[in-house]
Structure 1
């Protein structure tokens, strides 16, 4: 049984670097923590290694590396004392169909991106495209907000303008969420497969050059507030479009 007590251990120091985006990009690895996220990683065959707090039971098939609380905390992005940390490989998910795609334009908050990925998985989105200035999907806050959806839905950072043009050539109708006329009320939209939904930056919305090439703008009908949190708006739109007839 391997046991690591010191936070200065070479292996621990190397894996602690995975809390930084540049190291995640370089290595193709990332960290997850907590029982649920470990289970999702196992289901996706992405779990490579686990660090377990001394005294805890191992519920995986991997041989754990037992650690002191100080060592676990060094690998953790959360303030509370974690009990298990997993080192994962980035999933490579290529769906057989692209009936419904989501396109994210400059969404900055990791929590929003994670919640959007969770909703996308829940409502049957086949793929998520993110502009290159979106929050990192492997940011610890994104991962926790996604509740493991990152292991089950394909994603790609891309040039959204070119991607939308390509999708349109493939007869995909692209809907944009917008507060500016002309738009159609969400309840009045009856989409046909395949289609895509574009969501924009929390403060600025969708960039004008992207908005200009979308096939239709849609707006959620509201009684009071003019706009919603982007992750909330995403869930409402995906649910409504999925069940439109």
Structure 2
């Protein structure tokens, strides 16, 4: 069905629009088990990697004309499509510039045992403990996808990965790799240890510089809070505490530090694969 043949959502105060807009709040997301995906790139990745999770696609006629391939994929996957006015889309979106489309999707996280059972020899995992900033969490997920991490595990004390700011920051990477959420930090670390995953704490106090760290086996980068880093008991529970050598800056942003560590792990995997 083309945009011209669909009913037009034109009332920003309609019940449907209110329900979609409510997904900007955590309580509504948890109650419905759904979340908001904003913008063409994120929607494209949702449909490309997790189409079965897509509940509905809302877009303006202009956006459909500009991104016809996204609407085609949604139609082929049986995802309901609604044509909206710009005013309606703005009322639904969490951002002031949603670029003409938003989607509603089911949660895509998986149980921790299922995620860990799929970890292979030499894989890299990311563990986020007490990470509170949405932009940081989303950027770490994006970096984990870019550098081939096998999974991201998020503690119960961290930001909700379905927060619209997190989802936007991942730019679709949320749909690229397994994610498990809501687990206490101690339980996360113990589960990794039980499966033979070495725990590498990324911390400025580390006695092992990153270039000297052994990244050859299956390992997890354990990342801490933006302000206070990793708790002493977490540092004590890791196999090694690794620091990133810095020439001039006092410290690195959490997302930047995670990116550097993930790149190092990816480079090690690539080097071993060439042997």
TM-score, length of structure 2 as denominator length: 0.83
In 2, are the aligned partners of 1:129 and 1:160 still within 8 Å (CA)? no
The question of 1:76 aligning with 2:93 is answered yes
Alignment partner, residue 88 of structure 1 = 105
CA apart distance, 1:81? 5.7
CA apart distance, 1:204? 0.1
Structure 1 runs not aligned, ≥5 long = none
The question of 1:212 aligning with 2:236 is answered yes
In 2, are the aligned partners of 1:69 and 1:81 still within 8 Å (CA)? no
The question of 1:38 aligning with 2:55 is answered no
CA–CA distance in 1 between the matches of 2:266 and 2:59? 41
CA–CA distance in 1 between the matches of 2:33 and 2:160? 13
CA apart distance, 1:100? 1.7
Partner residue of 2:185 out of 155, 160, 182: 160
In 2, are the aligned partners of 1:189 and 1:241 still within 8 Å (CA)? no
Instruction: Report the number of matched residues.
Output: 244
CA–CA distance in 2 between the matches of 1:9 and 1:126? 42
CA–CA distance in 1 between the matches of 2:34 and 2:222? 28
CA–CA distance in 2 between the matches of 1:84 and 1:40? 13
Equivalences for residues 165-244 of structure 1 within 5 A: 165-181=190-206, 183-244=207-268
Structure 2 runs not aligned, ≥5 long = 1-5
Over aligned residue pairs, what C-alpha RMSD do you find?
A: 1.7
TM-score, length of structure 1 as denominator length: 0.93
In 2, are the aligned partners of 1:121 and 1:152 still within 8 Å (CA)? yes
